[in-house]
Each structure stands twice: as structure tokens, then as C-alpha cells.
Amino acid sequence: MEFRSDNTAGVCPEIMAAILKANEGVAASYGADPISEGLNAKFSALFEKEVVVFPVATGTAANSLSLAALSPQWGVVYCHRDAHIEQDECGAPEFFTGGAKLGLLDGPHAKIDAATLDSRLKGAGAGVQHHAQPAAVSVTQATEKGAVYKPDEVAAIGEVCRKHKIALHMDGARFGNALARLNCSAADITWKAGVDVLSFGATKNGAMAAEAVIFFDPAKAKDFLYRRKRTAHLFSKMRYLSAQLDAYLEGGLWLKNAAHSNAMATRLAEGLGALPGARLDAPVEANEVFIDLPETAIQRMEKAGLRFHRWEPGGTLLRLVTAWSTTPAEVERVISTAKEAVTA
């Protein structure tokens, strides 16, 4: 029973069906097939704005290519200390940008806030040749701690970015989970709040390997074709990437999957959070639960074959992640196993 990550889940049936359908006959390569060619319109409709979309296969590619489009070599990209781009990409942003720096910010639940950012930017030495130059900010939606930025929070950050003339990127590896939680449109939380480029994730939420880099200002996208090819992220049989994204949007599948995994996480948090000795470490706003549990409960869960992460080796803070395929029965099993231990 898997709660280590949402990327241990398989491909959801609707997306697999789309892949099979895309497999009929021949198709022009490198994105000249009809499914690929339809993506701009489909995403533009979702975002209520003309956007330019580039499918890639990994979240790290989406993030790194986005940042390379927004920052010169000598740029600084500001992000939270816990951000995936800082912690879990083995320096990919530095590689793709040609050596830009990540400027790390603190904040609860892996969120950054506008005031902290503004203060940092004021002392950053913009225009002085000795210093790497402020270039962009990257926010993660939902964050690495399972929290979700509200539209006004992003808008405040967007305002600081405009004030300092730098760009705003959103790492939306779990964008679906965030939007399923928020009572707003995809536009509200992105370009209307100042986001320039979005890494729109699908892999963690039911796709096989598909992410979309979305430019809200087509002018900023003009070199992206070369960047993608040059980093070896252009697929020859693009139709299979595009079919995943197409199906992901179709009929709101992405929100349906996300709402389900969010609900599973919420139930998990409620069930585990009610146990004696339990302490939720972060608000559960998406599909991740960070919770401190008594060691006896943890060992019982491990013994029962439940799989999840101790956030620090040997520690009692756990991360449990739900997915589109997580079942209520699995969630109840986790809760009851932990409960047995602490009430024994």
C-alpha cells in the first residue's frame, strides 16, 4: 500500500485510453500531428487567454526550461528553501540557465510571502556588476509541504515581481491539486495574479509522463523551441505526450483526479490527526499529509507493509501522499493500523 509519493500511481484509465487511441496509424512527428496542434487552443480555453504550450515529459524539464527562459546566466531565481527546484533536481535549474543562482527564502509550509521577497530584492544589488542579478521568482503550487497559495497571495508576489521588473514562474507539479482546493479559476491563480510561465503538471495526477510549459505571454516563448530541442526534450513521437495532456484536460479529468486525491488526504489527516500523540505539521490543503506520530504507531504501520516516508531519517515526522488511485479502503487501513498501535 503506497503513500510514498503520487508518482508511484499508474496511469489513469482515461489517459491510457487516449494513448491507445493516439496509436492508430501514422502521424507527423515532432508536434506536427493534430493532437499536438490542438493543445494551444485547448489550454487557451482553460486559461481564458491566448497561451503557448510546450509539452515535455518531466517536471524537472518543465521547471528548468521555464527558468532558463526567464533568467539570464547571471540571474538569481528566488524560491523557498524547500522548493523542488532547490532540493530535488540535482542542480538542473543551474544547468539549464547556464549557472544562474537560486536565492533561498524562508516561510512556513514552504510558502514565500511578498514582504519577505520585497525586502530581499531591495538589498540584492540590482544593476551592480559584482552581483548576480535578480531575474525571477518561482512559487510552488501546491507547495512541498502540501499548502496552497491563495490568489491574493500570488498576486501580492506578482506585484513585487513587477515592481522589481523580474518574472514570476509557478511550479505547478501539483497545480491540479491546488486548483481543486481553491475556489477560483485557472486564470485567477496564474496570469491574473502575475504569473508569466507555469509548469503545468500531469504526471503526478494520472498521466504517464507529461507536463506542459505554459507561456502567458507568447512573446516570451519565441526561443523555447530551441531550448527544448537543445536539452533533448523534444519528442519525435510527440502525439503520445500530447494525447496525455489532451485527455487530462478533457471533461475536467485533471480536477476530478485531483479532487479525489485531495479528499483522500483530508480524510487521512482527519483520521490520523485525531489519534493521541499526533500532530499535523502543515495544513492539508492538497494531497500531502505531514504528520508527527508516535513511534509505536509508525512501526506498526511499517510492519503492516504500509509505505510512506519518514521526513528525516529516523524521525517521527511522516509524509504520506495520496494519488488519483488511492482508495478510501486504503486510507481507512492506514488510520486503523495507526489507531491499533496507539490504543493498544
Q: Which of residues 121-140 bind a copy of itself (CB under 8 A)?
A: 123, 129-133
Q: Does 10 bind a copy of itself (CB under 8 A)?
A: yes
Q: Does 26 bind a copy of itself (CB under 8 A)?
A: yes
Q: Does 60 bind a copy of itself (CB under 8 A)?
A: yes
Q: Does 166 bind a copy of itself (CB under 8 A)?
A: no
**Checking DSSP bridges between strand 211-215 and strand 52-56, what pairing results, if any?**
antiparallel
Q: Which of 47, 96, 175, 254 binds a copy of itself (CB under 8 A)?
A: 96
> 17 or 41: whose CB is closer to a copy of itself?
17
183 with 146: CB under 8 angstroms? Answer: no
Q: Does 101 bind a copy of itself (CB under 8 A)?
A: yes
> 269 or 323: whose CB is closer to a copy of itself?
323
Q: Which of 38, 73, 250, 327 binds a copy of itself (CB under 8 A)?
A: 73
**What residues pair up with 200 in beta bridges, in sequence order?**
172, 212
How far apart are the C-alpha atoms of 162 and 13, rounded to whole Å? 42
Q: Which of 16, 155, 187, 342 binds a copy of itself (CB under 8 A)?
A: 16
What's the per-residue H, E or C state across 16-40? HHHHHHHCCCCCCCCCCCHHHHHHH
Q: Give CA angle at 153 (148, 155), nearest 5°.
A: 125
Residue 122: C-alpha distances to residues 106, 113, 115, 193, 223 (Å) = 16, 15, 11, 21, 30
Q: Which of residues 180-239 bind a copy of itself (CB under 8 A)?
A: 203-204, 208-209, 223, 225-237
Q: Other C-beta atoms within 10 Å of 133: how many? A: 19
Q: Does 61 bind a copy of itself (CB under 8 A)?
A: yes
141 with 107: CB under 8 angstroms? Answer: no
Q: Does 97 bind a copy of itself (CB under 8 A)?
A: yes
Site string for a copy of itself, 277-316 (x = CB under 8 A): -----------------------------------x----
How far apart are the C-alpha atoms of 183 and 119, rounded to whole Å? 30
> 151 or 201: whose CB is closer to a copy of itself?
201
